[in-house]
Chains A and B, each alone.
Chain A
Amino acid sequence: MKMTLRALLGATALLTLTGMASAETTTITVATVNNGDMVRMQGLMDDFYAKNPDIKVEWVTLEENVLRQKVTTDIATKGGQFDVLTIGTYEVPIWGKAGWLVSLNDLPADYDAADLLPAIAGGLTVDGNLYASPFYGESSMVMYRKDLMDAAGLTMPEAPTWADIKTAAEKMTDKSKEQYGICLRGKAGWGENMAFLTAMSNSFGAKWFDENWNPQFDQQPWKDTLNFYLDLMNNYGPPGASNNGFNENLALFQQGHCGMWIDATVAASFVTGKDSTVADKVGFALAPDNGLGKRGNWLWAWSLAIPAGSAKVDAAKAFINWATNKDYAALVASKEGWANVPPGTRSSLYANPEYAKVPFAKMTLDSINAADPTHPTVDPVPYTGVQFVAIPEFQGFATAVGQQFSAALAGTTSADDALAASQELVKTEMTKAGYIK
């Protein structure tokens, strides 16, 4: 016992000492998601330290939901635990408006804000202030197995319709070989199945709210969307789909279990990367439509922002500039190849002839340009956001709706019941929040 205690005390002293030694440099705490691009960045920090010897970065890498919840609690209560936050297109406009973020308009000239893709920058700007710098931008698109399409005697159009997708899914499914025609998100969450389903519903002409903020789940377009989705997944999807999110589907696709996967463009570098068993057999196409003028793709950018009230704004800005300017793209390219550069943020990247050789480069850019956050669906709506509704209450009720749709996919409730329950609960929440008078 005594030994343990002494060891303990020794360790404490040691930790305190190391803490003291680094006190002369500025230490910033960066909260980020455990996505591949972020993890890759952590491996490239030597370059940052070489350029900024007086700054030390401490990483807090967390799973997306845990991260969002910690970061939100911290910023809303002004806890001040983080100096740089990784947040998305949903949070930035709301938090920027609330005055919780530091404006990034005064980043150094070599940052070149004019080079950012307009669709992405627009989503991160409030009243002329850029509140977050995009680390990578993404839309969604169809990823498919060229070999399986050939075997089925089909070709994937560059801009398929939902009917094309269904035909292809049917032909590629061979459950005896654990080969499923289509993998889609089913795990409940506003950033999981609801991101996909909301984007998909836009192409069916559905919407969350009419212009008086009345929920629209009792309308035909939502019924069509959900029924089409359930039909696809029940007949041609993998088992356990109601627990599959982005990561689970990625694993399935990499192992060759999926014929098609409609998901984030950023997945392209992983399905063609070293962990993938089907790397050389993947083709890309735009997200499907239904002939109504809108495609079922979304728009998202994981971005770096500084919470208002941070005492280390200068160091934080230096870090953000390093992580999101053009040099970082070149750094990744030199170490890991162009295919692994964080995509979807800068025009210069797409103008680069080296990058144009990457198989999914053009499709990513086209998909991003095809999304319009200010006019997300067919009819006019009172909100912005393609796969979300940019109001603070959204993540709460959208997750609850996601639960309902996930239950419909698992077969524990019917599509009609799920829609009716969703209509009811969104209506309650909107009444509670004062949108519906």
Chain B
Amino acid sequence: MATAHSRTAARLMVSPAVILLFLWMIVPLGMTIYFSFLRYNLLTPGTSFAGFDNYYYFLTQAAFWDALRNTITLVVGVLLITVFGGIGLALLLDQPMWGQGIVRVMVIAPFFVMPTVSALVWKNMFMNPVNGMFAHIAKGLGLQPYDFLSQAPLASIILIVAWSWLPFSTLILLTALQSLDREQQEAAEMDGASPLARFWYLTIPHLTRSITVVILIQTIFLLSVFAEILVTTNGGPGTASTNLPYLVYAQSLLSFDVGGGSAGGIIAVILANIVAFFLMRMIGKNLEA
């Protein structure tokens, strides 16, 4: 079916997207690489060549390793909650019930809330240790209010981010469940397979592809979580909730150290691409078929 003629046409159709994305990647990236070798602070006039100094300082600061660890914890933590929570919720919503439409409307809602707003709402109305809802509940039960954002900053952020992404995974998994072959299920039931066995041998394999999609898309967004941290903890206390994007932000926009920030940006790009490489291999394998 694919003739030489249609190949040329296809190439023409793809090229605008490829060229644009290539420019979008290469122009800022090129400039960033260039800046990363300069001693360039926005507040001090003039620039000079710095060699690998910026990279050296970025990689040797104690905060870098904390940030790396926090980034991974954040991504993995949110993925665990949203994948397992999503499977559970999807299974529940797949059952016959009254008012399913309304429940779905409630469950999907957090996905529409912009990150800044959700962070502000959680921080002030819920986690604030004096006026927040949780503090009021604790006081009502005669307990000492727990100070979420200073005692468990990263866990709190994971909770906030997971809340925003749970609807996404739930919906994808629910759609997948609904396409499950009912006849097969019934046949297995007739054969006396227990619900657990049916779940394990029929449902889970059927969901694998959707789970991979959830992981892929969410990882892309979770690697660059930023607004939630900026609004709630400013990366602290200490560096307890600083992830890589936030560290780069601190370097380039709090210190206005463009050289150091650029070096950090390049390092973040490299690390993200390593993650992307493994992720893509995994997905690529799962999405063939």
Residues of A that sit less than 8 Å from B by CB: 69, 72-73, 76-77, 94, 98, 178, 187-189, 238-243, 251-252, 255, 257, 392-393, 395-397, 399-400, 403-404, 406-407, 409-413, 418, 421, 424-425, 428, 432-433
Chain B nearest CB: distance from A131 CB in Å?
Answer: 15
Q: Which of B143-171 contact A (CB under 8 A)?
A: 144-145, 147, 149-151
Let me know if B130 and A238 touch, CB within 8 A: yes
Cross-chain contact of A407 among B53, B144, B237 (Cβ < 8 A): B237
Q: Please, how many angstroms separate the alpha-carbon atoms of A411 and B147 in the complex?
A: 12
Q: Please, how many angstroms separate the alpha-carbon atoms of A403 and B62 in the complex?
A: 13
Q: Which 3 A-B pairs have the closest CB atoms?
A: A396-B255, A407-B238, A392-B43
Let me know if B257 and A396 touch, CB within 8 A: yes
Q: Which of B192-225 contact A (CB under 8 A)?
A: none
Let me know if B130 and A257 touch, CB within 8 A: yes
- Chain A residues whose CB sits within 8 angstroms of the CB of B145 once the complex forms: 239
**Total inter-chain residue pairs, C-beta < 8 Å:** 110
Chain A nearest CB: distance from B210 CB in Å?
Answer: 29
Chain A nearest CB: distance from B280 CB in Å?
Answer: 34
Q: In the complex, which residue of chain B has the Cβ closest to the Cβ of A424?
A: B62
Let me know if A396 and B42 touch, CB within 8 A: no
Known: A73-B253, A399-B254. A406 touches B236 (CB 8 A): yes
Q: Classify the interface of chain B: helix, strand, loop or mixed.
A: loop
Chain B nearest CB: distance from A96 CB in Å?
Answer: 12
Residue of A187, A240, A413 most packed against chain B (CB within 10 A): A240
- Chain A residues whose CB sits within 8 angstroms of the CB of B254 once the complex forms: 69, 395-396, 399
Q: In the complex, which residue of chain B has the Cβ closest to the Cβ of A243?
A: B149
Let me know if A98 and B45 touch, CB within 8 A: yes
Q: Say yes or no for B128: interface residue by CB 8 A criterion.
A: yes
Q: Say yes or no for B256: interface residue by CB 8 A criterion.
A: yes
Q: Classify the interface of chain A: helix, strand, loop or mixed.
A: helix
Q: Please, how many angstroms separate the alpha-carbon atoms of A251 and B125 in the complex?
A: 13
Q: Say yes or no for B52: interface residue by CB 8 A criterion.
A: no
Known: A178-B130, A239-B145, A392-B43. A406 touches B237 (CB 8 A): yes
Known: A403-B235, A407-B237. A239 touches B256 (CB 8 A): no
Q: Please, how many angstroms separate the alpha-carbon atoms of A413 and B129 in the complex?
A: 21
Q: Say yes or no for B44: interface residue by CB 8 A criterion.
A: yes
| Pairs across A and B, CB under 8 Å, 24 listed | A69-B254, A72-B42, A73-B42, A94-B43, A188-B235, A188-B237, A239-B129, A239-B144, A239-B147, A240-B128, A240-B130, A252-B130, A392-B43, A393-B43, A395-B255, A396-B250, A396-B251, A396-B254, A397-B255, A403-B236, A406-B238, A412-B240, A424-B62, A428-B61
Q: Please, how many angstroms separate the alpha-carbon atoms of A267 and B53 in the complex?
A: 44
Q: Please, how many angstroms separate the alpha-carbon atoms of A427 and B245 in the complex?
A: 24
